């Protein structure tokens, strides 16, 4: 018998929780572990690296700003003797935060590339369900998220930002359907395992 792994067999909420756990865990990486994670990132495949590369290119000025702010803003021992020398501690902090940001961008790109919008909304609705007991209308937030994502996808890219103000407002009545598949026992075990592993990793 041949077993085939199908990620769609896992509840969308479990996949969303796993992705959030990865983002939190990345913020705890440092030193050789962070370097190994950055070197292993291309192994995620072209499907993740291609959109990840686009996100990294869009965030290039943020990466440059991180390098400048930390390298020359953190006090410590000068990297070389002379004026305008960055500090060793600052360069280390700059590389650490830049590496974490690169991993986050690749993780975001991989998640959006492999997670359909319907699954994303279903997973978010399931994870936010406990807030309903506190009186929070989570369905309204999910609907607003749906409309925002749809608006971003259909938004034209004018050369002049003033052209955005000329887009007429349209009011239409529509029905938004969100799948709500039940979570199985294996999903509960996976989420509990993720929380336990994340706690051990972050507070080690």
Question: What percent of the chain is predicted at pLDDT more than 70?
Answer: 77
- Using alpha carbons, select from 112, 110, 116, 119 the residue that is nearest to residue 47: 110
Mean pLDDT for the stretch of residues 131-150: 76
- Using alpha carbons, select from 114, 112, 121, 111 the residue that is nearest to residue 22: 111
Is a pLDDT exceeding 80 seen at residue 139? Answer: no
Task: At 191, give phi and psi (nearest 5°).
Answer: -65, -45
Tokens of 202: 């972050």
Given a contact cutoff of 8 angstroms between Cβ atoms, the answer to whether 127 and 18 are in contact is no
Q: How far apart are CA 8 and CA 182, in angstroms?
A: 13
Q: What is the pTM of this model?
A: 0.73
What is the residue extent of each domain of the chain? 11-115, 117-192
């Amino acid at each position: 018998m041949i077993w085939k792994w199908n990620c769609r067999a896992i509840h969308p909420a479990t996949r969303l929780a796993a992705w959030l756990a990865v983002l939190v865990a990345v913020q705890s990486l440092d030193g050789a572990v962070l370097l190994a994670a950055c070197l292993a990132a291309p192994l995620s495949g072209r499907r993740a690296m291609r959109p990840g590369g686009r996100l990294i290119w869009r965030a290039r000025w943020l990466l440059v700003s991180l390098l400048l702010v930390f390298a020359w803003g953190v006090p410590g021992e000068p990297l070389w003797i002379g004026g305008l020398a960055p500090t060793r501690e600052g360069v280390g902090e700059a590389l650490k935060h830049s590496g974490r940001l690169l991993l986050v961008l690749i993780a975001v790109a991989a998640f959006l590339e492999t997670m359909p919008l319907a699954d994303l909304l279903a997973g978010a609705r399931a994870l936010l369900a406990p807030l309903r007991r506190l009186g929070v209308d989570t369905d309204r937030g999910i609907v607003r998220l749906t409309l925002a994502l749809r608006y971003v996808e259909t938004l034209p890219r004018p050369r002049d930002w003033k052209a955005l103000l000329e887009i007429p407002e349209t009011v239409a009545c529509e029905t938004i359907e969100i799948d709500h598949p039940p979570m199985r026992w294996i999903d509960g075990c996976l989420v509990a395992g993720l929380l336990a592993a994340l706690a051990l990793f972050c507070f080690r």
